[in-house]
Copies of this chain bind each other. A is one copy, B any other.
Amino acid sequence: MTTWGESHGTAIGAVIDGCPPGLRIDREEIDREMARRRPGQGGASSPRKEPDAVEILSGIFTPPGEEMPRTTGTPLSLVVFNKDAHSKSYDELRDIFRPGHGDKTYLAKYGIRDHRGGGRASARETAARVAAGAIARQLLKRHDIEVCAYTLALGGIRIRTCDLSMIGENRFFCPDPLAAEQMEARVQEVRSQGDTLGGIVEIRATCPAGLGEPVFDKLDAGLAHALMSIGAVKGVEIGAGFAAADMLGSQNNDPLGPDGFLGNNAGGILAGISNGEEIVIRVAVKPIPSISKEQKTVNLANEEVTIRVGGRHDISAIPRIIPVCEAMVLLTLADFLVRDMAVKTRNRSGI
For chain A residues 141-158, which have a beta carbon within 8 Å of chain B? Answer: 142-143, 153, 155-156
CB contact under 8 A between A222 and B224, given known A20-B343, A121-B271, A340-B109 = no
Contact B9 A58 (CB under 8 A): yes
Docked pose: A5 CA to B58 CA in angstroms = 5
Q: Nearest 6 A-B pairs (CB), nearest first? A: A102-B271, A20-B346, A235-B237, A196-B249, A20-B350, A4-B75
Contact A21 B350 (CB under 8 A): yes
Contact A58 B6 (CB under 8 A): yes
For chain A residues 31-87, which have a beta carbon within 8 Å of chain B? Answer: 55-61, 63-64, 70-77, 79
Contact A287 B99 (CB under 8 A): no
Contact B23 A270 (CB under 8 A): no
Docked pose: A226 CA to B118 CA in angstroms = 27
Q: Mark A263-287, 1 if CB is under 8 A from B, else 0.
A: 0011100111111100000001111
Contact of A297 with B by CB under 8 A? yes
CB distance from A234 to the nearest CB of B (A): 5
CB distance from A143 to the nearest CB of B (A): 7
Of the candidates B102, B244, B290, the one whose C-beta lies within 8 Å of that of A270 is B102
- The interface centre, meaning the residue of A12, A102, A303 with most chain B CB atoms within 10 A of its CB, is A102
How many subunits of this chain does the assembly comprise? Answer: 4
Of the candidates B106, B200, B252, the one whose C-beta lies within 8 Å of that of A271 is B106
Contact B228 A350 (CB under 8 A): no
Contact A252 B100 (CB under 8 A): yes
When C-beta atoms are compared, the residue in chain B nearest to A341 turns out to be B345
Extra inter-chain contacts (16) besides given A242-B284, A249-B288, CB under 8 Å: A4-B15, A4-B77, A10-B58, A20-B343, A71-B112, A72-B119, A99-B254, A109-B344, A198-B249, A235-B236, A235-B238, A237-B237, A244-B285, A251-B287, A255-B297, A258-B298
Of the candidates B100, B110, B298, the one whose C-beta lies within 8 Å of that of A72 is B110
When C-beta atoms are compared, the residue in chain B nearest to A266 turns out to be B100
Docked pose: A329 CA to B199 CA in angstroms = 27
When C-beta atoms are compared, the residue in chain B nearest to A96 turns out to be B256
Contact A17 B5 (CB under 8 A): no
Contact A215 B253 (CB under 8 A): no
Contact of A311 with B by CB under 8 A? no
Interface residues of A, count at CB 8 A: 153
Docked pose: A109 CA to B71 CA in angstroms = 13
CB contact under 8 A between A286 and B222, given known A61-B114, A346-B338 = no
When C-beta atoms are compared, the residue in chain B nearest to A254 turns out to be B99
CB contact under 8 A between A2 and B75, given known A22-B111, A286-B244, A286-B245 = yes
CB distance from A291 to the nearest CB of B (A): 4
CB contact under 8 A between A291 and B253, given known A94-B64, A258-B298 = yes
Contact B256 A297 (CB under 8 A): yes
Of the candidates B4, B75, B196, the one whose C-beta lies within 8 Å of that of A57 is B4
Contact A218 B228 (CB under 8 A): yes
> Which residues of chain B are near A113, meaning CB under 8 Å?
61, 72
Contact A3 B224 (CB under 8 A): no
> Which residues of chain B are near A210, meaning CB under 8 Å?
105, 108-109
Contact of A28 with B by CB under 8 A? no
CB distance from A66 to the nearest CB of B (A): 10
Of the candidates B121, B222, B302, the one whose C-beta lies within 8 Å of that of A214 is B121
